Amino acid sequence: MDLVVVSVLGADRVGIVAGITSVLARHNANIVDIAQTVVRDIFSMVMVVDISKADVDIAGLRAELEEVGRKLGVMVAVHHIDVFRYMQRI
């Protein structure tokens, strides 16, 4: 598997999960694990996504998800899981 971590943060509203996951589905990226919560109207979601069979690379996926995030009013970050793990050590 080629895993990336997709994190989403912003004001809660209808359509965030649908908007983000529709991009993943369109590119054949598989959600391996997902957690989401809303705390005092702040939405957060973290997904581990397998992009080994996706028709887009991580840079293309990041660009598209960031654009969808802007339209939805949320921040989206996409990191390869190895980079994410190393970032957490600092």
Rg, Å, the chain Cα set: 13
**The CATH number of the domain covering residues in 3-89:** 3.30.70.260
Give me the residue spans of the domains in the chain. 3-89
Sheet containing strand 74-80, edge to edge, reads 30-39, 42-50, 3-11, 74-80
pLDDT values of the chain reduced to their tens digit, one per residue, 90 residues = 899 999 999 999 999 999 999 999 999 999 999 999 999 999 999 999 999 999 999 999 999 999 999 999 999 999 999 887 776 665
Instruction: Give the pLDDT of residue 88.
Output: 67
Distances (CA, A) of 25 to 11, 39, 76, 80: 23, 27, 17, 18
Q: pTM here?
A: 0.91
